[in-house]
A and B are shown apart, each in its own frame.
Chain A
């Protein structure tokens, strides 16, 4: 196993955010954590990347216990993260942002830079533009590209679809598949469960700080409970959290055939869900 998360507990003050999460990510996989707001997805990622300290439990990466390792050293060990809300450096240009991604490394980064520009041609067009003046989609591309500059073994992505227009969500997800195809393991956190399950190999369902289900992603797409809670299909079953907690699900679920699409369908970009309930439509950058 490349990454083993072993019964971790994390607290914000006295409030327990994670109450014993265990998960595994094998080399070459795309693994996704899905769940409602407050389920602990982001906290799990932050704990893996070292931004949050553990209360108990352990995290092993490439066979080594990294539970006590500070965040900046985990980058060198091979964990790269694109943080929630993108975390682009607003005053730095696109190229400076990307070079910051390689901060921990020494040597020549022109090869990685060229690769990122190839994955995201839009970034190449905007090399010298300040990161803060870019649209939401471009910032997301920049955040992912920046994380890739460190040549991570595993790439942690925190809600890459957040606030993006449907068309752009498709594009980002197909790029994630491409990144994985080129050999980077991906741990993906998403509220957009149907999209995430379509590209992932395996998935964990999180609820109030615990893992309630783990299975191959394709199985979860058909799971009646998951469909009821996260994909908006049928009300016959309930998983702990009522469906209203994830309001975007109702809008996201397309016709049944949509959800049963073969894995990787998103990568082709042919199937577009009718509505993907973007929260901030005005950030669609396709026009700019």
Chain B
């Protein structure tokens, strides 16, 4: 009975936007998709950069090293946390597996970028299955703890393994081969030439991966697989009783999420040309998870916005030095009080949260949310 208003989200509702979108004709949607892609490709422009980045930092590098990677990782983690409802606190492990796979195979075995890319994605997916197979019998908080441990195991192993040079990491990872020397007329950008000086081609590569990931995940979401994930997220026992092979689908969520994370690791390693275990700390897992939850877990546009904000804001306000972490923390807390479902949640997810179990970490228990009684009493 208490706090019937406590759950009420503050601020704007995106329902009108959603209704417009649902009733929009197919061509209108395609126009929006195209505009979004064009917008993403125009982001590195100097005019936008002068506002988005403080004068001292390189906006294009920020896009390729931070924002693009985070959005890609957010999309991958969203499959695990947002769609299947499995709380994964060690997502950085798959990012690391992707990065280390290309580092090892490119420097020691001289594989080409594109073949290591495929290999890294497969390796990350296998890592997802290896982690999932023994641990996915656990639920909620217990799963979170085990995945947290897995993230640390991968980092510590890399730190102590001589084969990958321990804490010094691997240097001399080749850039991807240039696909073309073609220059966009009037812009002096060679979008398919991967070198040391220009970050933009890597950003375009990330945009390509992000678009692929979005198409892939969106198609899954609307399929039998997506329905199975939604049912597991909402009530795992009931899902099994409906004939959903829950274990298989949870494993698939882990593998697909891991594969997307692995592809992020590959681009990261190829851009930096060197990696070391210090890039794969728990902080990365935590930030990506925060981005997913803040944006609206389970909803792709929300996750993209969330990951963008979380990677961009701390860089944008770099001049505030250590205070920005304090402000950042306060902002997250305020967000969870006033809009716990995230900036841009999906309608289904919102209904789940209102009911109380909320999917993430519910352990199958029926926990009445503050909003429940208000709904029933009506």
A residues bordering B, Cβ < 8 Å?
49-51, 70-73, 75-76, 80-81, 83, 85, 87-92, 100-101, 103-105, 130-133, 135-136, 146-147, 150, 282-283, 285, 288
Contacts and interface: CB of A to CB of B under 8 A. Distances in A.
B349 interface: yes
A51 B364 CA distance: 12
24 contacts: A70-B245, A71-B241, A75-B243, A87-B238, A89-B235, A90-B356, A92-B230, A92-B234, A92-B348, A100-B231, A100-B239, A103-B224, A104-B242, A130-B351, A132-B351, A132-B352, A132-B356, A132-B372, A132-B375, A133-B354, A146-B242, A150-B242, A285-B376, A288-B376
Size category of the B interface is 20 to 34
Contact of A75 (B241, B359, B378): B241
B348 A91 contact: yes
A89 B243 contact: no
Given A87-B238, A91-B349, A103 B244 contact: yes
A72 B246 CA distance: 8
A59 to B, nearest CB: 16
Nearest to A285: B376
Contacts of B378: 288
B237 A87 contact: yes
Contacts of B366: 85
Given A100-B231, A103-B227, A89 B354 contact: no
Which 9 pairs across A and B sit closest by C-beta, in order of nearness?
A: A104-B243, A132-B355, A90-B355, A75-B243, A87-B238, A91-B352, A130-B351, A91-B348, A89-B234
A71 B239 CA distance: 10
Nearest to B241: A81
Interface string B236-261: 01111111111000000000000000
B245 A72 contact: yes
A110 B271 CA distance: 54
Contacts of B350: 91
A133 B160 CA distance: 52
A88 B366 CA distance: 11
Contacts, number: 101
Interface of B: 224, 227-228, 230-231, 234-235, 237-246, 348-352, 354-357, 359, 366, 372-373, 375-378
A51 B241 contact: yes
A153 B291 CA distance: 47
Given A92-B348, A146-B242, A132 B227 contact: no
Given A92-B230, A103-B228, A49 B241 contact: yes
Given A92-B234, A103-B228, A87 B241 contact: yes
Contacts of A285: 376
A49 B238 CA distance: 11
B235 A87 contact: yes
B357 A100 contact: no
A157 to B, nearest CB: 12
A285 B246 CA distance: 32
Q: In this complex, which of B242, B244, B377 has the most chain A Cβ atoms within 10 angstroms of its Cβ?
A: B242
Q: In this complex, which of B243, B349, B357, B373 has the most chain A Cβ atoms within 10 angstroms of its Cβ?
A: B243
B241 A83 contact: yes
A170 to B, nearest CB: 20
Contacts of B356: 90, 132
Contacts of B376: 135-136, 282-283, 285, 288
